Structure 1
């Protein structure tokens, strides 16, 4: 059985660089792309309360499915689809936790992901999904910038 590589996609140039890295280095293996939809996507609030817009959440899921289609096109352009199994999934949850759970539940051997490279206050305030995955993953993680 070959290597199963997970590539989280958020549509950023960094996540596509990670996908391209996986395509170039794991031809003949299984590559799964994963888009994680934040559960707060579609929740709007103000001081008087808030509301949930299910259509916004559905659009976020559809956008994630489109990332899977784009990944298939890129893999086809690279000529690896005859030798490589390419899968795609869309999950809802907190990104780092969802990536780690997906990897554990699906027999992933390696995570390849992009990093936005934030530093200082931006990193403290926004957090780093890549850093959290690196610290908590029991499998190798490659971060591509």
Structure 2
């Protein structure tokens, strides 16, 4: 069905389910797991390079590499290869930017499992990606 799938991945159970869903539902697609090192927002952040404004950006990238190594292990369990990428920024913005600037056919993103009435709501990042994405978005619970 889809040739190239972007999977935002942070190591959480919903993101793991999204990655596994990608492998099971799109067996012939090329998948890319994206980890976003969060960057602060605000007036001054707009004028600085993300590497400068993110405290301990190197540590964030190291943590991202460890988390993406877990994603690569999940791919191996499914006999799949997985491209991985790390970006700095606000997660929803970085995900949408990536989808706008690379040839992805879809985004598969995990939603937060919630209790009670709030369960019908998406996680804030997933909701913003759904609203702003230029490509189809599959939300996995």
**Shorter-chain TM band:** 0.7 to 0.9
Normalized per residue, which structure has more strand? 1
Name the residue aligned to 2:22.
22
| Match of residue 140 from structure 1 | 136
CA contact (8 A) 1:7 1:113 kept: yes
The 8 Å contact of residues 28 and 80 in structure 1, kept in 2 or not, is answered as no
Q: Partners of 2:113 and 2:73 in 1: how far apart?
A: 27
The equivalent of 1:47 in structure 2 is none
TM-score using structure 2 length = 0.78
Conservation of the 8 A alpha-carbon contact between 1:39 and 1:94: yes
- Rg larger in 1 or in 2? 1
Q: Give the total of aligned pairs.
A: 123
Unaligned 5+ segments in structure 2 are 41-52
Q: CA deviation at 1:67?
A: 2.1
Alpha-carbon distance, 1:53 to partner: 8.0
Deviation at residue 87 of structure 1 after TM alignment: 0.6
TM-score (norm 1): 0.76
Q: Residue in 2 aligned with 1:101?
A: 97
Q: Which runs of 4+ in 1 moved over 6 A?
A: none
* Equivalent position SS for 2:85: strand
5+ long unaligned stretches in structure 1: 41-51
Once the two structures are superposed, what CA deviation does each residue of 1:46-90 show, in whole Å capped at 9, x if it has no partner? xxxxxx784x33222111112222112111111233xxxx21000
